[in-house]
Amino acid sequence: MKLHGFSAGVEPGGLHEDYEIKILICHLLSALKDPLSKSQMNEVLTGNGLVNYFQFADALEELVQDGHIEVIEEMRPEGEFYRLLPKGKMTALEFERSLPLTVREKSVNSALQIQKKARLRSQNKAEIEKTKDGYIVTCVMKDIGSDLLRLSLFVPTKEQAERVKERFLDDPEILYRSVLDSLR
């Protein structure tokens, strides 16, 4: 088990050994009920300073080659999503306790937040329309049948429109609760 010279971006307590990174990837996929994309795993692992990007990319590729995980072909149009295979599940169960608890918890909690954000973004939409004197941002919260909420808001600048759109898509429930509370 070789230690790479790569340590850029890895915070104290993060992982440096190739085998640890592979175990962490298997643990992460095992702990979640939904698959993760490569970009989501990258955000979780490198964004939290748990691993170096180059080691992560190498470990992911080696796990695919060794039959621990696989790309979910039917999800390819949405990106490259991965699922754990039985060999990877066994690796996670046998070796995950060799990783620091804080690393395991941080990675799973971060992944759950990323999945929640992705789910909200797919279930809701916000569009920006240019007008003569500014921008109209239309926020829509979807439901099974009719829209749960549809709100259009005027803002004078493109930057404000983008901020409104992003904040709504990050947590549309805040807007919904606020509207309900103000109408009671």
93-122 tens-digit pLDDT: 999 999 999 999 999 999 999 998 888 888
pLDDT of residue 56: 95
Token pair 């909690």 in the structure block, residue:
109
Band the pLDDT of 50: cuts 50, 70, 90: very high
Q: Which of 178, 184, 181 is nearest to 153 (CA)?
A: 178
Q: Could you give the CA distance from residue 143 to residue 98 in angstroms, rounded to a whole number? A: 43
Phi/psi at 112 (5° precision): -65, -40
Amino acid at 118: A
Q: In 3-85, which residue ranges form alpha helices assigned H by DSSP?
A: 18-31, 38-45, 53-65
What H or E segment, with its residue span, contains residue 84?
Answer: strand 81-84
Q: Within the chain, what is the greatest distance between any pair of CA atoms?
A: 63
Are 128 and 166 within 8 A, CB to CB? no
Q: Could you give the CA distance from residue 19 to residue 96 in angstroms, rounded to a whole number? A: 11
> By percentage, how much of the chain surpasses pLDDT 70?
94
What value does the mean pLDDT of the chain take? 89
pLDDT at 4 over 70: no
Q: Could you give the CA distance from residue 164 to residue 86 in angstroms, rounded to a whole number? A: 44
63-97 tens-digit pLDDT: 999 999 999 877 656 678 999 999 999 999 999 99
129-139 tens-digit pLDDT: 999 999 999 99
Q: Could you give the CA distance from residue 28 to residue 111 in angstroms, rounded to a whole number? A: 8
